[in-house]
């Protein structure tokens, strides 16, 4: 009986090396020589499937990443009951890669976003010219069967500029996995915030800066576990996380202005700039969701600037929470 099952790809990213994460292994795979990553009995079928993934020029991709089960005789086959765990592993890998990114080192620097790390699942049978596709939808997943391989084409999304990922934050990944495996109390806020952070930083063309920023602010709120659910408390928790390290105050920074209300201005001049930034990000998010910006509050950063700062500081905040937990 021919082998059949579900194969999961990250078609838009190629890792520098194979990496183990819990029950899974993320393995770079060359589309012309898939047998280097999967068993020979499935290699030809995988090669056929990957011909349906094309770049912007319409030509098939040359390499990508396949997800495998570690230490399993049919490593390529990942059953649906494992997809939730597989998705969580993919999110952890995405963070470990995004945390190593450099934004401002020139136009030729590598640029990653969360879209690159999304898994694509397909049902295949060795020797068959048909595949099954899976899509998330409201209420449940959608399964589309009976599709011919030659009729299915996936083109690289426009927000993905390149598919190379040169560095993986291995130490961060190790800390995340240890927190997950031991179910340390710090794991839940990290896990629940990570999915939201990645949604906000996928750089898909549909949501605007304001919607992405709202998601980003929500991710920080979940990660930091503030004493109260308001901008001031989130900002205080964010600043406290960096307390052992040097900081620049608003008064020293000169260009960052405190709130317009004099009642708050004097106090804020002594704040570290990171605290002021987080307060403004939360206030900007709240203004989009509710009644618009308030005249009492300053606005030192625009929405797109908030997103770049968040892309730097969220991975750092995760690292600091892991470090404080001894992970």
CB 10 within 8 A of CB 67: yes
CB 94 within 8 A of CB 104: no
Give mean pLDDT, residues 62-85: 91
pLDDT band per the 50, 70, 90 thresholds, residue 104: low
| 18-32, 180-194, 240-254, 301-315: range with highest mean pLDDT | 180-194
Question: What are the tens digits of pLDDT across the range 14-72?
Answer: 999 999 999 999 999 998 888 888 888 888 889 989 999 999 889 999 999 999 998 88
In the numeric block, which tokens belong to residue 188? 């839940």
pLDDT at 94 over 60: yes
User: Can you name the residues that pair with 10 across neighbouring β-strands?
Assistant: 65
pLDDT at 291 (0 to 100): 65
Q: Could you give the residue ranges of the DSSP H alpha helices within 57-169? A: 83-98
Work out the burial of residue 184: count CB atoms within 10 Å of its CB; fewer than 13 is exposed, 13-18 middle, 19 or more buried: middle
User: Can you name the residues that pair with 7 across neighbouring β-strands?
Assistant: 122
For residue 102, the Cα-to-chain-centroid distance in whole angstroms is: 15
Those residues whose C-beta lies under 8 Å from the C-beta of residue 228, and which sit 6 or more positions away, are none
In the numeric block, which tokens belong to residue 301? 């950063």
Cα-based distances in Å from 173 to 6, 113, 199, 209, 319: 26, 17, 19, 29, 10
This prediction has a pTM of 0.91
pLDDT at 95 over 90: yes
Query: 146 vs 318, which has greater pLDDT?
Result: 318
Give mean pLDDT, residues 111-135: 87
| 74-78, 98-102, 159-163, 171-175: range with highest mean pLDDT | 171-175
In the numeric block, which tokens belong to residue 197? 């952070």
The pLDDT mean for the chain works out to 89
pLDDT at 109 over 60: no
In the numeric block, which tokens belong to residue 219? 């991710």
- Please state, for a pLDDT cut of 90, what percent of the chain lies above it: 54
pLDDT band per the 50, 70, 90 thresholds, residue 219: very high
Q: Angle at Cα 95 formed by Cα 154 and Cα 203, nearest 5°?
A: 50
Q: Please identify which residue in the block is written with the tokens 């056929």.
A: 48
In the numeric block, which tokens belong to residue 30? 């060359």
Q: How many other CB atoms are there within 10 angstroms of residue 34's CB atom?
A: 22
pLDDT at 276 over 80: yes
Q: How far apart, in whole angstroms, are the C-alpha atoms of residue 152 and residue 134?
A: 13
Query: 319 vs 213, which has greater pLDDT?
Result: 319
CB 165 within 8 A of CB 13: yes
- Please state, for a pLDDT cut of 70, what percent of the chain lies above it: 93
pLDDT at 143 (0 to 100): 79
pLDDT at 271 over 90: yes
pLDDT at 289 over 80: no
Q: How many other CB atoms are there within 10 angstroms of residue 77's CB atom?
A: 19
Task: From 24, 41, 94, 34, select the one nearest 63 (Cα to Cα).
Answer: 34
pLDDT band per the 50, 70, 90 thresholds, residue 300: very high
CB 189 within 8 A of CB 317: no
Task: Kindly give the pairing relationship between strand 130-137 and strand 140-148.
Answer: antiparallel
Query: 1 vs 188, which has greater pLDDT?
Result: 188
pLDDT at 1 over 60: no
User: Can you name the residues that pair with 5 across neighbouring β-strands?
Assistant: 124
pLDDT at 132 (0 to 100): 86
């Amino acid at each position: 009986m021919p082998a059949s099952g579900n194969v999961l790809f990250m078609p838009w990213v190629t890792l520098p090396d194979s990496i183990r994460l819990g029950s899974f292994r993320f393995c770079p795979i060359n589309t012309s020589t898939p047998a280097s990553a999967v068993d020979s009995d499935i290699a030809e079928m995988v090669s056929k499937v990957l011909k349906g993934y094309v770049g912007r020029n319409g030509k098939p991709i040359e390499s990508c990443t396949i997800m495998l089960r570690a230490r399993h005789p049919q490593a390529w086959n990942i059953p649906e009951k494992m997809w939730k765990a597989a998705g969580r592993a993919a999110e952890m890998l995405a963070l470990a890669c995004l945390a190593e990114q450099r934004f401002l080192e020139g136009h030729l620097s590598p640029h990653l976003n969360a879209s690159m790390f999304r898994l694509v699942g397909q049902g295949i049978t060795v020797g068959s010219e048909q595949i099954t596709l899976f899509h998330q939808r409201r209420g449940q997943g959608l399964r589309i069967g009976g599709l011919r391989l030659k009729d299915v084409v996936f083109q690289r999304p426009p927000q993905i500029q390149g598919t190379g990922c040169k560095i993986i934050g291995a130490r961060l990944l190790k800390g995340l996995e240890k927190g997950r495996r031991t179910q340390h109390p710090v794991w839940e806020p990290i896990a629940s915030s990570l999915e939201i952070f990645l949604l906000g930083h996928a750089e898909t063309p549909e949501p605007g800066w304001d919607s992405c920023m709202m998601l980003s602010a929500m991710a920080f709120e979940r990660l930091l576990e503030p004493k109260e659910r308001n901008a001031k408390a989130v900002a205080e928790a964010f600043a406290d996380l960096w307390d052992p390290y040097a900081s620049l105050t608003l008064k020293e920074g000169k260009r960052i202005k405190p709130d317009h209300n004099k009642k708050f201005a004097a106090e804020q001049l002594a704040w570290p700039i990171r605290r002021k930034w987080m307060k403004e990000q939360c206030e900007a998010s709240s203004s989009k969701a509710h009644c618009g910006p308030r005249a009492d509050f300053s606005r030192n950063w625009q929405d797109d600037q908030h997103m770049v700062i968040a892309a730097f500081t969220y991975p750092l905040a995760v690292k600091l929470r892991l470090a404080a937990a001894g992970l």
